[in-house]
Structure 1
Amino acid sequence: MPTMQVNFRLFTYNFIGLLLLSGCIGGSKLGNANKAYLIGEYDRAAEQFKKAYKKENNKYTKGEISYYLGECYRKTNKPKKASLQYARAVRYNYEMADAGLYLGDCYLAAQKYEEAIEAYEEYLQKEPLDKRAHNGIASCKLAMNDSIETRYTLTKLKTVNHTRYSDFSPGYASTNYDQIYFSSMRTEKKKRRKSRITGQGGSNIYMAKIDAKGEWTEPELLDEAVNSEFDEGSATMSANGKEMFFTRCRYDNEQPRSAEMYMVSRSGGKWGEAVQIEVGGDSLLVAHPAISNDGETLYFVSDMPGGFGGKDIWKTTKSNEGGWGQPVNMGSVINTAGDEVFPSVRMDGSLYFSSNAHIGYGGLDIYRAAYNDEKQYWEVHNLGRPLNSEGDDFGIAFKGMEEAGLLSSSRGSSRAVDNIYEFTLPKLEFSLKGMVYSEKNDEPVADAYLRLIGTDGTNVKLSVREDGSFGAKLAPKTEYVFMVAAKGYFNHKHKLSTVGLGNNKEFNIEVGMLPMEDAIVLKNIQFEKEKYELNKDAQQELNRLAAILNLNTSIILDIKAHASGEGSASEALQLSQKRAESVMNYLQTKGIPAERLSVNGVGNAEPVTVTKRQAQKASFLKEGDVLTDQFIRRIRGNSNREVAHSLNRRIEFLINKE
């Protein structure tokens, strides 16, 4: 059975013959409901089933009625109502196996993920190999984790959309992207015919364009060359804007008919006569045409033999005789046992479509399929939130290769009304902020300057403010190097890159400048008690030091290591020597020659004098305190005493020049 999304948006009345169920409810007292359901009038059938349920006493029959009432709601995109009916059918032990599957689908669409997982798992006990249920469980986990949320933004087209009736499947009319065609189920003032399937109007194709003020105009109904007494929709244009491909659903009171595809040409601003596109047999359903950019390949939806279940996406190419060749199924990577519908083709040849059986967020989700020439197969990816939602998301159209366009969605509608949304991917924004300070006293280095060089051609000199801060805008997909220089300090070099970043980012970098004299204590190079191994923080700090040493090759570094509260004086001396050697060995792995390094372990002989910044971080200390063993023993609290010892367990660097 196709889902409700496919029924009322695509095939309407003439597709009803394909929906007939051999197992529908029998019995004269359900005659009206049964007849309405069999001909696809789900809105009307739901009312009849509700009346019949109230009068029924047999539990099995009540379960049967509940199932078909759930089907009516599901097919008209009312998952919350449908889930109540499927749950009741399961409770009454109605033996229609897919009730559990559809119950899970409806819970998923209603964002009741735990209940959905439970329903799918119960269904899998009966049908353990049904991939739809396995994908349903994966979809619940995807929705709960929100693992593929993107930066796209969506805005509803208020002027184009009707407040009460569905508007869907937009498509651009030209490369100017200032005119669109779309399907609508709105009812005209003079023609209030409503569908007994959905309670909405019949589907027709409308046009809207952007006016001189940059606003969308009120939609206009296309003339009778396109719109007929039947239902039309899902229009797509050729690249030159001269041909329109669309679906027409003819209906016959005497016999069921299938959806058909048509093509109409435009000349001098007028549409000619619509011509049916014949692919497959007369009785086969073919719909949702999507023409490739070169006009040689036509993608479409069908349930013809040779598919994978439900509705599949197929393609056909132009023949030498001018018609269309033998249809080819797009394969099991794209098609599933569920429904794949609403294909569209981008200029680069990538295929977009909607599915209710791939892993997604509920209902129909939009997917991108790109062919991997190297691996020789299609790769399918969910477009993520917010392009996809818990509702039905389908009918996407891009502005060429821009990350912008239109799509249709039922999100947020309790009445199964689709709306057209405009989407765009905002430009990535990257920035650089930082602080230049002295490694000697943590004070700002205001007279420093910074030069920023990028692979995009950037080469600018940035001023450093009095407080030592600086900032700059960065470009996407660019690698940068910046140099910092100041009188009395060794030059500093740093690299950063925006290549491969998919989200906005602000780089915050503190630049510690090494003075050309005195001893320097770098941050984060401290040790655990009785340990001499370097932790990750220490390694990162030494990486920064190594970069400075490689940039300033005249530097000779004396490495002095300290210990505190760790055994006797001789034991502390040995431990500090090992710490100094650990630092030297690591710097050598970063390309610093041994002749530029010397080590000296001094044990606990030189306790630290607390700086202003250290006192601010440790409230039990004050600036000028000397952290001798005797002083530390007087500090209250084991944790405070350990903090004081950790300040003593440090590495100092004495910088000399050749």
Structure 2
Amino acid sequence: MPTMQVNFRLFIYLSVTSFLLSGCIGGSKLGNANKAYLIGEYDRAATQFKKAYRKADNNYTKGEISYYLGECYRKTNKPRKATMQYARAVRYNYEMADAGLYLGDCYLASQKYEDAIEAYEEYLQKVPRDKRAQNGLAACKLAMKDTIETRYNIEKLKKVNNTRYSDFSPGYASTSYDQIYFSSMRTEKKKRKKSRITGQGGTNIFMAKMDAKGEWTDPEPLDETINTEFDEGSATMSGDGKEMYFTRCRYDNEQPRSAEMYMVSRSGGKWGEPVQLEIGGDSLLVAHPAISHDGETLYFVSDMPGGYGGKDIWKTTKGGEGGWGQPVNMGSVINTAGDEVFPSVRLDGSLYFSSNAHIGYGGLDIYRAVFDEEKEDWEVYNLGRPLNSEGDDFGIAFKGMEEAGLLSSSRGSSKGIDNIYAFSLPKLEFSMKGLVYNEKTDEPLADAYLRLIGTDGTNIKLNIRNDGSFGAKLAPQTEYVFMVASKGYFNHKHKLSTVGLGNNKEFNIEVGMLPMEDAIVFRNIRFSKDQFDLNTNSKQELNRLAAIMNLNKEMVLDIVAHASGEGSESEAIVLSQKRAESVMSYLMSKGIPTERLSAKGVGSSEPVTVSKRQAKKLDFLKEGDVLYASFIKRLRGNANKEAAHNLNRRIEFKIKK
């Protein structure tokens, strides 16, 4: 992954190396490689290091060169190439311990999770408390389990990504969201020379508009007051669209230069002359500006003293006469020992940024930070897949408070090319469908109606179709209750809710209507052999019955329990009585008064006569079979015998009133 000494995408890994490659590595090629590396020309340095490696005559030197080759590839976002070099450096026992850390990072970015785990564990044996490696292990487990899957749709913005060079850091220019600015390394238009840092073009700021058909126009570079011979990028717009903040990296052939932030105003559709922001001092690196909607707070990235390691996110607020106050670090919840970069601010004040050290999926991941008033600190959340990937994901921009916008990512590119992606969160869709049927006969019940009432104000009557089915759309974050009524049947009441649901859902509901006649058998109230305890399914059915009784206050039930002929009749009567009393006790616990219930066990004296539905479900039985003990004994197979006994072990509800 990259560094941005002269180039914005590469700023993330900017660091001034304070030493040359050591010892016995003389020769002009290695001397040129040293110089190119020190001033951040990583693409050029890699070419020179490869030539020097072929002439190296001892393993230590090979390991050292391999390490710096790995650094060149990592800093230009080529993790697979970097992996080979770091692995070779580790194999040659090169003394730079972080070679093992970066090896793990590159394996992670290449989706080789088992190899990454091994590399992190070996590194932690040398540096046990390195939080970056610990988070790397956690990231491997997260990526392997893929536990943060979201509903976002994401697709490449093909009309904007119309070259083979990197495009990144998009931002909207106005509240109409029909104009975007972004950074690009494309070279075709002006035939610019390729960058010695990345092998791509230098970075400039481009603009694209949406036409009347909703298509993006071909991107055009901004004029030369903004785009210069140096690198410009990571543009962010003020809330009124009249000011742009961006980063500029000036280039020096002899030494690395720090990134700087600029502001430029627009009047009459034209940009003026950029003015450098005086923040932090001349020698300090400041980049990736993100201005709040009210224009009072500026977030940015820096490695200035007082941070937590790597690049941190800082903020400053406006002072008198348009100046900016003392920078304030955003704290240890947001910033880590790694790099936190590419901040952006949403209308509600929530902060988004990318990090390579928080737990993620590899490379840079995008995170959301929300300030918790009670804890008086930030809460940080990974945005999950598909917004994040195994590549670098960064530079997110939202369409106001819509769950839609743009981001940049290197996903799917072995060459480290960044592209701009559009993302959106589809609206949640909820519905219900179901069937109304006669609880006794299982036949569909068409002569009924359903009244649906919701906390959102819904109050509608649904007719039941001829086949007993019904259906309706439901709203998010709404609680519903519906009642089904039909002449000659007890009313049925049901509740459902879409509150808190984060995924689309269709509720499938079967409504069994109790006819106002006797001998109703609920399907799922069954008992195991010699048992009278209620299982989970039985309790769910009794909950349904209790709801019906509470809705129909005049209902009085006789609870009749049956056993199957598996023992003496006296034992069967005692067992069935205990079953009836279990059911009665449970209904009473649900608020049904004692005077509306009675319990009786009849043993095995009333075996089941097989119904059409039962015969269809159990093909070894015929409609009309009577399940006497002698009949069951003649059935083939213990499983068939047990299924027949289970039909006999039942509860019947006889409606007295």
**Structure-1-length-normalised TM-score:** 0.97
1:22 matched to 2:22? The reply is: no
How much has 1:7 moved relative to structure 2? 5.7
- Matching residue of 1:4: 2
Alignment map for 1:12-161 (pairs within 5 Å): 18-22=15-19, 24-26=21-23, 27-29=25-27, 30-161=30-161
- Matching residue of 1:605: 605
- Matching residue of 1:595: 595
Paired AA for residue 10 in structure 1: F
3-state SS of 1:28 partner: coil
Shift in CA distance, 587/9, structure 1 to aligned 2, threshold 3 Å: farther
- Matching residue of 1:356: 356
1:329 matched to 2:329? The reply is: yes
Paired AA for residue 440 in structure 2: K
- Matching residue of 1:376: 376
Provide the rounded CA distance (Å) in 2 between the counterparts of 1:16 and 1:437: 67
3-state SS of 1:307 partner: coil
- Matching residue of 1:626: 626
Which deviates more from structure 2 when the two are superposed, residues 453-462 or residues 125-134? 453-462
1:240 matched to 2:237? The reply is: no
Cα contact 1:11–1:249 (8 A) shared by 2: no
- Matching residue of 2:551: 551
Cα contact 1:6–1:341 (8 A) shared by 2: no
Provide the rounded CA distance (Å) in 1 between the counterparts of 2:514 and 2:422: 53
Paired AA for residue 602 in structure 2: V
Provide the rounded CA distance (Å) in 1 between the counterparts of 2:162 and 2:445: 62
Provide the rounded CA distance (Å) in 2 between the counterparts of 1:63 and 1:490: 83
Paired AA for residue 520 in structure 1: I
Shift in CA distance, 443/231, structure 1 to aligned 2, threshold 3 Å: same
Provide the rounded CA distance (Å) in 2 between the counterparts of 1:414 and 1:202: 20
3-state SS of 2:162 partner: coil
Paired AA for residue 499 in structure 2: V
Cα contact 1:11–1:259 (8 A) shared by 2: no
1:583 matched to 2:580? The reply is: no
Provide the rounded CA distance (Å) in 1 between the counterparts of 2:478 and 2:3: 44
- Matching residue of 1:253: 253
How much has 1:36 moved relative to structure 2? 2.0
Which deviates more from structure 2 when the two are superposed, residues 253-262 or residues 589-598? 253-262
How much has 1:255 moved relative to structure 2? 4.3
Alignment map for 1:491-510 (pairs within 5 Å): 491-510=491-510
Q: Deviations over 1:365-401 (max 9, x none)?
A: 0000000112211000000000000000000000110
- Matching residue of 2:530: 530
Cα contact 2:5–2:259 (8 A) shared by 1: no
Cα contact 2:289–2:299 (8 A) shared by 1: yes
Alignment map for 1:182-193 (pairs within 5 Å): 182-193=182-193
Paired AA for residue 431 in structure 2: S
How much has 1:9 moved relative to structure 2? 5.2
Provide the rounded CA distance (Å) in 1 between the counterparts of 2:60 and 2:387: 42
Provide the rounded CA distance (Å) in 2 between the counterparts of 1:568 and 1:85: 81
Cα contact 1:8–1:76 (8 A) shared by 2: no
Cα contact 1:342–1:353 (8 A) shared by 2: yes
- Matching residue of 1:316: 316
Paired AA for residue 4 in structure 1: P
How much has 1:502 moved relative to structure 2? 0.3
Q: Deviations over 1:87-114 (max 9, x none)?
A: 1111111111011111110111011111
1:270 matched to 2:270? The reply is: yes
Cα contact 1:407–1:421 (8 A) shared by 2: yes
How much has 1:241 moved relative to structure 2? 0.4
Shift in CA distance, 12/108, structure 1 to aligned 2, threshold 3 Å: closer
Alignment map for 1:106-505 (pairs within 5 Å): 106-505=106-505
Provide the rounded CA distance (Å) in 2 between the counterparts of 1:106 and 1:649: 63
3-state SS of 2:84 partner: helix
3-state SS of 1:493 partner: strand
3-state SS of 2:226 partner: coil
5+ residue gaps in structure 1? none
1:563 matched to 2:560? The reply is: no
Cα contact 2:172–2:237 (8 A) shared by 1: yes
Q: Deviations over 1:427-484 (max 9, x none)?
A: 0011101011111111100111111111111111112122111111111111111111
3-state SS of 1:67 partner: helix
Shift in CA distance, 645/7, structure 1 to aligned 2, threshold 3 Å: farther
Q: Deviations over 1:611-635 (max 9, x none)?
A: 2222222221122111111111111
Provide the rounded CA distance (Å) in 1 between the counterparts of 2:427 and 2:13: 46
Paired AA for residue 594 in structure 2: A
Shift in CA distance, 214/189, structure 1 to aligned 2, threshold 3 Å: closer
How much has 1:415 moved relative to structure 2? 1.3
Cα contact 2:436–2:512 (8 A) shared by 1: yes
Q: Deviations over 1:180-212 (max 9, x none)?
A: 111001014433211011110010011111111
Paired AA for residue 2 in structure 2: M
Paired AA for residue 142 in structure 2: L
How much has 1:576 moved relative to structure 2? 0.8
- Matching residue of 1:638: 638
Aligned pair count reads: 654
**Structure-2-length-normalised TM-score:** 0.97
Provide the rounded CA distance (Å) in 2 between the counterparts of 1:165 and 1:190: 14
How much has 1:21 moved relative to structure 2? 4.4
Paired AA for residue 196 in structure 2: R
Cα contact 2:70–2:82 (8 A) shared by 1: yes
Q: Deviations over 1:294-335 (max 9, x none)?
A: 111100000000000000000001113421000000000000
3-state SS of 2:472 partner: strand
3-state SS of 2:609 partner: coil
5+ residue gaps in structure 2? none
The alignment yields a C-alpha RMSD, in angstroms, of: 1.5
3-state SS of 1:102 partner: helix
Cα contact 2:280–2:327 (8 A) shared by 1: yes
Aligned-residue sequence identity (percent) comes to: 79
